[in-house]
Amino acid sequence: MHTIVAKVQLSPNVTRLEVTASRIAQIRQAGQFVIVRKGEGAERIPLTIADSNADTGTITLVIQAVGKSTRDLVALEVGQAIKDIAGPLGHPTELVERGHAVCVGGGVGTAVVHPIAQALSRAGVHVTSVIGGRSRDWVIYEEELKRLGDVVVCTDDGSYGRKGFVTQAAAELLAAGKVDVVYAVGPVPMMRAVAELTRPYGVRTIVSLNPLMVDGTGMCGGCRVSVGGKAYFACVDGPEFDGHQVDFAMLADRSTTYREFEQEALQRSLDHTCHIGLDKA
One domain, residues 179 and 256 = no
Asked if the model's pLDDT at residue 261 lies above 50, the reply is no
Q: Are 17 and 81 in contact (CB under 8 A)?
A: no
Number of H helices and E strands in the chain, helices first, is 9, 16
Eight-state DSSP code of residue 13: T
One domain, residues 78 and 116 = no
Q: How many domains does the chain have?
A: 3
Residues 188-197 pLDDT 10s = 999 999 999 9
Asked if the model's pLDDT at residue 171 lies above 70, the reply is yes
Question: In DSSP terms, which residues pair with 204 in a beta bridge?
Answer: 181
Mean pLDDT of the chain, nearest integer: 88
One domain, residues 97 and 173 = yes
Interatomic CA distance for residues 99 and 177, integer angstroms: 12
Residues 197-235 pLDDT 10s = 999 999 999 999 987 777 777 777 778 889 999 999 988
Query: Domain boundary residue among 201, 226, 256?
Result: 201
Residues 53-102 pLDDT 10s = 999 999 999 999 888 888 999 999 999 999 999 989 999 999 998 999 99
Return the pLDDT at 150.
95
pLDDT band (50, 70, 90) for residue 138: very high
Return the pLDDT at 220.
77
Return the pLDDT at 278.
56
Query: Domain boundary residue among 61, 89, 117?
Result: 89
Asked if the model's pLDDT at residue 140 lies above 90, the reply is yes
Interatomic CA distance for residues 80 and 178, integer angstroms: 48
Q: Kindly report the CATH number assigned to the domain that includes residue 182.
A: 3.40.50.80
Which residue, among 182, 230, 185, has the nearest Cα to 209 in the 3D structure? 185
- Structural domain boundaries enclosing 221: 209-281
Is cis: bond before 200, omega within 30 of 0?
no
